[in-house]
Amino acid sequence: MRTDRTALVTLLVLSAAFAAFFVLPFAGLAKRAIEDGKTWELARSGTAQAALWLSVWTSTVTLGPDDRFGTPVAYLLSRARFPGKAIVDAAIDLPIVLPPTVAGVALLTAFGRRGLVGEPIEAWTGQTFAFTTMAVIMAQVLVAAPFYVRAARSGFDSVDRRAEAVAYTLGASKTRTFFRIVLPQVRPAIMAGTVLCWARAMGELGATLIFAGNLEGTTQTMPLAIISAFEGSSLGLAGAIALSVMLLGVALGVLVVFRLVSNQETWQA
């Protein structure tokens, strides 16, 4: 019994310490935000509003390609067997492991004005990517995609293959089986992946900074605005705090809404 109690106390102490480490930074942020007195005013400034709007809409647009292209990829990775699958699997996770700055440099070498495909595309169409809002989205798509693909893939993995086989014997085509049997069961995983993907896009900094730059109103997303404020732009440290609180609020809001929605969606298999 004695060892049981010791174990319990140890468990609680360690958990409390860890929890404190998580909570304290946010407490510090909240305290400064309240004491500054300028937070509300700074949050409503043009720079902050432009950054917030840019972050929200580009992150949302990012979901389009990531869902549209990520879902088939996830399905293939879950179902298909082909040589080199392990390599493809690892390659998709690469952006998770790689520092985003590397992704930024890589994007620049591919889609920059001197880039592998950037140069011919500009020669034919006059279209450039680097340092545009398009570049912001491209950076986010690349960096956030693995989060979506991984979540969706584990969703596909968890669907009973025999249910698909049964659907075929019941006369359902592969397409009908996918949309009526597979996809509905994967929906919770896809939702989770979408939220993760969106959150990752909202927080994207390194790749955007290198590939899209830090142009207010065009490529300056929230994380970039925070960096600029911190480095002494017109917003200052108080501005960095205000922007951080705004991001924190948006993130919390999304998580809460997601929980509410997904609790309604889930069923017991």
Partner 1 sequence: MSIEFDAAIRLGGFTYDARFEARNEIVVLFGHSGAGKSVTLQAIAGLVRPERGRITVDGRPMFDSAAGIHVAPQARNVGYVVQELALFPHMTVAENVAFGIPKAIDRSSRTAELLDLLRIGDLANRKPSTLSGGQRQRVALARALARDANVLLLDEPFSALDDALRVTLRRELLRLRAELGLTIVFVTHDLREAHLLADRLAVFDDGRILQFAAREEVFRRPVSRRVAELTGTSNIFAATVIENRDGTAVLDVAGARFAASAPIAAMPGSGIDVAIRGERVNLRRPGEVANAFRAMLTEEFAFGSSHTLHFKPVDTGPEVEVEIASRPYEVLGVAAGQEWLIELPASDLHVMRRE
Torsion angle defined by CA atoms of residues 254, 256, 261 and 262, in that order, rounded to the nearest 10 degrees: 100
Q: Which is closer to partner 1, CB of 41 or CB of 160? A: 160
Residue 173 in tokens: 């085509």
**What's the token pair of residue 163?**
């249910």
CB of 167 to partner 1, least distance (A): 7
Shortest distance in whole angstroms from residue 156 CB to partner 1:
14
Contact call for residue 263 and partner 1 (CB under 8 A): no
Q: Is 60 among the residues that bind partner 1 (CB under 8 A)?
A: no
The answer to the question of residue 165 lying near partner 1 (CB under 8 A) is yes
CB 237, min distance to partner 1, A: 51
Nearest residue (CB) to partner 1, 159 versus 247: 159
Instruction: Indicate which single residue of 1, 17, 80, 269 sits in contact with partner 1 (rule: CB under 8 A).
Output: 269
Q: x/- site string to partner 1, residues 167 to 206, per CB under 8 A?
A: xxxxxxx------xx--xx---------------------
**Residue appearing with tokens 């919390």:** 252
Q: Which of 143, 63, 150 is nearest to 96 (CA)?
A: 143
Closest distance to partner 1 from the beta carbon of 150 (Å) = 22
| Distance (Å) of CA 28 to CA 23, 32, 224, 241, 250 | 9, 6, 21, 10, 18
Interface with partner 1, residue 268, by CB under 8 A? yes
Closest to partner 1 by CB, 5 or 162: 162
Site for partner 1 in 144-163 (CB under 8 A): 160, 162-163
Q: What angle do CA 247, 51, 230 make, to 5 degrees?
A: 75
Separation of alpha carbons 33 and 182, rounded Å: 47
- The answer for residues whose C-beta is within 8 angstroms of residue 2's C-beta and 6 or more apart is none
Helices then strands, counting H and E runs in the chain, come out as 13, 0
Size of the site for partner 1 (CB under 8 A): 19
Please report, as ranges, the residues that interact with partner 1 according to CB under 8 A: 160, 162-163, 165-173, 180-181, 184-185, 267-269
